[in-house]
Structure 1
Amino acid sequence: MGKHLVSVDRSIPLSKCPHEGHNRWHPDIAPMIHLRDGDEAEIHTRDSFDCQIFEPMRSEDLLKANIGRAHPLTGPIFVEGAAPGDLLAVDILDVISHDVGFTVIFPGFGFLRDLFTTPHLIHWEMREGCAISAELPGVRIPGAPFFGVMGLAPSHNLLQRINQREERLQEAGGAVFLPDPHMAVPANPAIANEALRTISPHETGGNLDIKQFVKGTTVYFPVYQEGGLFSVGDAHFAQGDGESCGSAIETSAILHARFRILKGEAGRRNQRDVSFGNEGAARAPLDSSSRFYATTGTCITDGGENLSEDLSLATRNALLNMIDYISDQFGFSRENALALASVAVNLRISQIVDVPNLTVSAFLPLEIFDEPI
């Protein structure tokens, strides 16, 4: 078993060091390193906005940021022997976060993008395992660092199928980010013109934003391309289930991981998508909060119309009710309330059988507040 270092300078944007990673998914992107089955690697990453957001920037400065640079990923990593039909198991041995971070509401993005249309920025400082912010006095968010983006490259065939189905989705009015060569890394037109954006997850993984990808978790990726071509980025110090405003506590970080090939297991299990497990060695601290306040939502519009089995509407209502509660109880602006929900509130499906009305609950852990609630 070998141990390897995959290092980048997190203070210099990927846009200025294109040999240190990529921000699109494509099978022809050259590997940064080759590993063997069972090898471990220490992988350094940049933040999700590619070093564009830092103190003393303020909310209005966000309009200068170029979302086309998201997400800068470190990789690809070629695992020798990994082939289509296999599973690549990535054991997360540790995630070491940087000591500063940010949360943003970016116009046109996020679950409530129709209601929150102006840029908003919160800066965080990480101390003694918690994140604090001058914008949210009295709040301390326990750290549970993980990577929002972990994935493999698609095969050429899968790439073509994804692009075709997403083009049809856009034609039908769906929200989707199609290939865009502007600010793409690598910039080679043969790759950039058809490469997948990193905004959406796919069968190969990608921007899954699963907060349980903490130390102690193993993630199983179905392999679609020789070598797997693993990449990682978009580190989060903490996040609520849902990442409702479109960002978590964004930061840079280091991943310690072990790579194992499970020969033929994707084919044997007929596994097309990512799976993951944790034997209980570690878990996100707010997942098991014993003190909480929760709001609920169901399938009723603002105008009083009843929609049938509309999970998005139920989620929206639960989240809006939570924003109202946080604003009223703590005096935070609605933008700060949404940002707090994005990094700490867990959105959960409570029931999906009592038609026509499904129930979604939004759980606010009370441990994050300095003063007893």
Structure 2
Amino acid sequence: MPQVVFPLDSSKKFEDQEKLGHNRWHPEIPPVAVVKPGESFRVDCREWFDGAVVNDDSAEDILNAPLLTVHKLSGPFGVEGAKPGDLLVVDILDVGPIPQEDSGPLAGQGWGYTGIFAKENGGGFLTEQFPDAYKAIWDFNGQTATSRHVPGVSFTGLIHPGLMGTAPSASLLAKWNKREGDLIATDPHRVPPLALPPEAEHAVLGGLPREDWSRVGSEAARTAPPRENGGNQDIKNLSKGSRIFYPVFVDGANLSVGDLHFSQGDGEITFCGAIEMGGFIDLRVDIIKGGMDTYGVHENAIFMPGNVDPQFSEWIAFSGTSVTLDGEQRYLDSHLSYQRACLHAIDYLTKFGYSPEQAYLLLGAAPIEGRLSGVVDIPNSCSTVYIPTSIFDFDVRPSSSGPFQIDPGMGAPRASNR
């Protein structure tokens, strides 16, 4: 096993650990450890809410999820010799749930969760159609996930980090805050908000001296969106065997990682759409000197996916176009067309006995594939959602005998005070 450079004790909260991570992006957060190019190392990761979501049949914890505290990131890890303008090469050697226990109170100890967030507390991709808070618990049996809240399905998890990235420079951080602040100003009272501004009260800033937390927290960027440094990209194919190339903006690169997922569908459409868990990740790093200019990688990470994807040979796919539910035509709106494809898939699955919320949770957690299938034929873009048929315990294909009727079981828990 590689050296553990960031250990986590499952009996302690994230802020009470031997080494303190962070939940904001800022160039002044010092590295918690320094690694050398070519070196392999292990990092423990806590799930993004640090145990606030529990294994039960209630969705109150999703309704009241502490979004101001996320994400709980491990790091930063300085890389010896990395300078601004370089490319940081990161190999994912292994990634998995918390290895010490088969079951326990933390997500990753034999179980994980998917949530539909309430509109007033984060929302999601389909928040207008699904404004209330729901939850599904998934049990892990080796690499397979099943759920008492979404019965009739099982699938192999493609385990991956939802969030990994390098620290921004001061100028890049200022650019983020300016452009996101300008967006917020166009509709400052929107629910859910258009973007998330810096917020100092709940900032966790690693080894930065405490007297600087208030100042730095008022500048530090929230970790929710993906940006030029990688960040919260939620790419389900960044799993074992992947190689990622990150731009370097500060000395040492200061790599951080977290938000591990047991499985996820393309888009993570419920916002808490993956199967969230804590666990470990083994990494190896290297440097391409001057690589940002050499390869034109200045404001994006590029990657080579691994080869451990579950193998599916049959799919059922749903399409959507850029027309609203009210019949309004939009011009090549691929975001809208993907929403419509997802809604068509959800409507189809309800014919088999699932509630719309169970179907929505399934699309967030299962290894569906989302594609931009047509982006040139004005005025309609076409997006598609592919669902592997083998994840179902029954035949999900259309037939002359009609849809098989599943027993929906207890259903997905809904927050009671909505």
Quick check: 1:10–1:51 contact (8 Å CA) kept in 2? Answer: no
- One-letter code of the match for 1:179? P
Quick check: 1:45–1:253 contact (8 Å CA) kept in 2? Answer: yes
Q: Which position in structure 2 is the counterpart of 1:349?
A: 372
Q: How many pairs does the alignment contain?
A: 367
Matched, 1:332 2:354: yes
Q: Which position in structure 2 is the counterpart of 1:184?
A: 203
Tell me by how many angstroms 1:19 deviates. Answer: 4.2
- One-letter code of the match for 1:34? V
Deviations 1:105-139 (A, max 9, x none): 11132101122111111111100311111011121
Tell me by how many angstroms 1:3 deviates. Answer: 4.3
- One-letter code of the match for 2:116? I
Matched, 1:368 2:391: yes
Q: Which position in structure 2 is the counterpart of 1:252?
A: 278
Matched, 1:130 2:169: no
Q: Which position in structure 2 is the counterpart of 1:151?
A: 165
Deviations 1:13-53 (A, max 9, x none): 32444942001111111211011111111000000111111
Aligned-pair Cα RMSD in Å: 1.6
User: What SS does the corresponding residue of 2:351 show, helix, strand or coil?
Assistant: helix
User: What SS does the corresponding residue of 1:27 show, helix, strand or coil?
Assistant: coil
- One-letter code of the match for 1:343? A
Matched, 1:113 2:117: no
Q: Which position in structure 1 is the counterpart of 2:304?
A: 277
Q: Which position in structure 1 is the counterpart of 2:113?
A: 102
User: What SS does the corresponding residue of 1:126 show, helix, strand or coil?
Assistant: strand
User: What SS does the corresponding residue of 2:283 show, helix, strand or coil?
Assistant: strand
Quick check: 2:35–2:78 contact (8 Å CA) kept in 1? Answer: yes
Quick check: 1:3–1:39 contact (8 Å CA) kept in 2? Answer: no
Deviations 1:50-87 (A, max 9, x none): 11111226113323321111110000000010011100
Corresponding residue to 1:207 among 232, 249, 272:
232
Quick check: 2:83–2:249 contact (8 Å CA) kept in 1? Answer: yes
- Separation (CA, whole Å) in 1 of partners of 2:14 and 2:199: 17
Matched, 1:194 2:216: no
- Separation (CA, whole Å) in 2 of partners of 1:13 and 1:350: 44
Indicate the larger mover: 347-356 or 226-235.
347-356
Matched, 1:163 2:182: no
- Does the C-alpha gap of structure 1 residues 61 and 194 become closer, same or farther in structure 2, counting only changes over 3 Å? same
User: What SS does the corresponding residue of 1:227 show, helix, strand or coil?
Assistant: coil
Tell me by how many angstroms 1:182 deviates. Answer: 2.7
User: What SS does the corresponding residue of 2:139 show, helix, strand or coil?
Assistant: strand
- Separation (CA, whole Å) in 1 of partners of 2:369 and 2:12: 33
User: What SS does the corresponding residue of 2:395 show, helix, strand or coil?
Assistant: coil
User: What SS does the corresponding residue of 2:164 show, helix, strand or coil?
Assistant: strand
User: What SS does the corresponding residue of 1:20 show, helix, strand or coil?
Assistant: coil
**TM-score normalised by L of structure 2:** 0.85
- Separation (CA, whole Å) in 2 of partners of 1:216 and 1:309: 35
Q: Where does 1:225-240 land on structure 2 (aligned, <5 Å)?
A: 225-240=250-265
Quick check: 1:12–1:51 contact (8 Å CA) kept in 2? Answer: no
- Separation (CA, whole Å) in 2 of partners of 1:242 and 1:114: 17
Matched, 1:266 2:287: no
Quick check: 1:6–1:41 contact (8 Å CA) kept in 2? Answer: no
Tell me by how many angstroms 1:212 deviates. Answer: 0.8
Quick check: 1:88–1:261 contact (8 Å CA) kept in 2? Answer: yes
Corresponding residue to 2:340 among 310, 317, 340:
317
- Separation (CA, whole Å) in 1 of partners of 2:137 and 2:41: 30
Quick check: 1:23–1:71 contact (8 Å CA) kept in 2? Answer: yes
User: What SS does the corresponding residue of 2:48 show, helix, strand or coil?
Assistant: coil
Tell me by how many angstroms 1:9 deviates. Answer: 2.0
Q: Which position in structure 2 is the counterpart of 1:89?
A: 89
- Separation (CA, whole Å) in 1 of partners of 2:4 and 2:270: 36
Tell me by how many angstroms 1:4 deviates. Answer: 4.6
- Does the C-alpha gap of structure 1 residues 255 and 62 become closer, same or farther in structure 2, counting only changes over 3 Å? same
Quick check: 2:7–2:19 contact (8 Å CA) kept in 1? Answer: no
Deviations 1:293-343 (A, max 9, x none): 1111001122222211111111111111011011112x1111111110111
**TM-score normalised by L of structure 1:** 0.94
Identity of aligned residues (%): 37
